[in-house]
Structure 1
Amino acid sequence: MSRPPRGGQPGMDILDLGPATATMRRLVLGIGDDQLALPTPCTAYTVGDLVEHVGGLALAFTGAAHHRSVPGADGIGEGDASRLEDGWRHRIVRDLEVLAGAWRSPVAYDGMTAAGGVALPGAVAARIALDEVVVHGWDLARATGQRFEAHPPSVAACLEFVSGFEVPPEAGDGPFGPPVPPPPDATDLERLLALTGRDPRAR
């Protein structure tokens, strides 16, 4: 999941977003046009809305890794399926691959950056990006009946990250809702999902 840095901040872990983005890329390519209106575990988002959100976050967090804003990104990623253009699958797949590559650079973790208009440390932005890809990958797999491949080191990093903050109750209609009780015998993935407001065993 991480390796000793060759630059950047002392003691900083470099996250590998590659496995999570590879899973997300496969899921995006497997979504049919007839599935775009299906509901997802993100109650405010259909499949199409969530895919558009994923495409936007790939751009925003790539920009965060490069410490620069993304030209023309206003409104992208807000969760609006009507923004999906012809060829959106291959565009999002490409942008996810670029996202993973951007966070392999130690420079990405230096100092402060911004994503979605929010200023935050580079190391935190990397963890948010990974968490978004992992959890929303599960959302899309569950909504479209596809297989979800959990990468244990990615899940562990996300679980450590989300365990350290509370989601406010007013976030219940957003992509990440208030935590729910995990099953007593929950796996790490199920604990992560419960912490982000999902019932990991609901059908």
Structure 2
Amino acid sequence: MSGIAGRYRRRAGEFERKVAGVRPEQWGNQSPCAKWSARDVVDHVVMMHGVMLRPVGRTLEAANDPLTAFRQARAAVEAVLADPELSAQLCETPTGQMTVEDQIDQVVSDDLVLHGWDLARATGQDETMDPVDVERLWTSTSAIPADVIEKYRTPDAFGPGIEVFGAEVPVPADAPLQDRLLGYIGRQP
């Protein structure tokens, strides 16, 4: 198993535990993403898994239950990551050409951490992110050039209804790294 596949598997397991921890009456709870409920967070994550599968000609089957939908999406992505030929295929992305494996790592795998926090916050679960993930995400996110960050913060820059980051939320310079990361991407820690 590659480092990317292992990282995805670990993060997907943590996200799945959060999805499984949502009580039925919590699906409508407001998430830290202004336009999304807890259910919308999971729907977005599942939808993005489907986007990652398109370059290799795969699709997801619809499921009404958020946990079932995520489990199916997870299994489909893990199957791609387990196939060296599929995971090595090149695909076009908004940031340029890369392998399917790298796109999964940089998009949905990272989303599992950040949206896992959103889901935890919306449903009263443990909001603590893995410190290794926080460090990795801080390093990659804070290295994004200012002009690209501005595009990430601009609603609809990547298509209708797509906003990658919100406006930066100021946090103290000596705040824990998780809080600084969350503030940087537009979340109120």
Contact 2:50–2:60 (8 Å) recurs in 1: no
Answer with 95-104 or 47-56: which moved more.
95-104
| TM-aligned CA deviation for residue 15 of structure 1 | 6.4
Q: In structure 2, what is the equivalent of residue 147 of structure 1?
A: 126
Among 70, 74, 98, the alignment partner of 1:121 is: 98
Q: Does 1:33 align with 2:39?
A: no
Q: Distance in 2 between matches of 1:70 and 1:57?
A: 13
Change in CA separation of 1:188 and 1:96 when aligned onto 2, cut-off 3 Å: farther
Q: Does 1:192 align with 2:169?
A: no
Alpha-carbon displacement from aligned partner over 1:103-134 (angstroms, at most 9, x marks no partner): 4666566463146x886413244212222111
Query: TM-score when scaled to structure 2?
Result: 0.74
Answer with 27-36 or 166-175: which moved more.
166-175
| TM-aligned CA deviation for residue 42 of structure 1 | 0.5
Alpha-carbon displacement from aligned partner over 1:138-182 (angstroms, at most 9, x marks no partner): 000001001134222222222222113214343398352132223
Contact 1:42–1:175 (8 Å) recurs in 2: no
Contact 2:56–2:89 (8 Å) recurs in 1: no
Answer with 48-57 or 93-102: which moved more.
93-102
Query: TM-score when scaled to structure 1?
Result: 0.70
The one of the two structures with greater contact order (alpha-carbon pairs below 8 A, sep at least 6) is 1
Contact 2:42–2:66 (8 Å) recurs in 1: no
Change in CA separation of 1:72 and 1:147 when aligned onto 2, cut-off 3 Å: closer
Q: Does 1:48 align with 2:25?
A: no
Unaligned runs of 5+ in 2: none
Q: Distance in 2 between matches of 1:56 and 1:99?
A: 12
Contact 1:180–1:199 (8 Å) recurs in 2: yes
Structure that is richer in helix per residue: 2
Q: Does 1:181 align with 2:170?
A: yes
Structure 1 residue ranges (4+ consecutive) displaced by more than 6 angstroms after TM superposition? none
Q: Does 1:89 align with 2:67?
A: yes
Change in CA separation of 1:135 and 1:42 when aligned onto 2, cut-off 3 Å: same
Aligned length: 176
Aligned-pair identity (%): 23
* One-letter amino acid matched to 1:88: P
Q: Distance in 2 between matches of 1:192 and 1:105?
A: 33
Contact 2:170–2:183 (8 Å) recurs in 1: yes
Q: Distance in 1 between matches of 2:77 and 2:14?
A: 13
Answer with 51-60 or 161-170: which moved more.
161-170
Q: Distance in 2 between matches of 1:157 and 1:107?
A: 27
| TM-aligned CA deviation for residue 34 of structure 1 | 1.3
Contact 1:15–1:104 (8 Å) recurs in 2: no
Q: Distance in 1 between matches of 2:141 and 2:172?
A: 17
Change in CA separation of 1:130 and 1:71 when aligned onto 2, cut-off 3 Å: closer
What do you get for the CA RMSD once the two structures are aligned? 3.2
Among 66, 71, 77, the alignment partner of 2:59 is: 71
SS in 1 for 2:155: helix
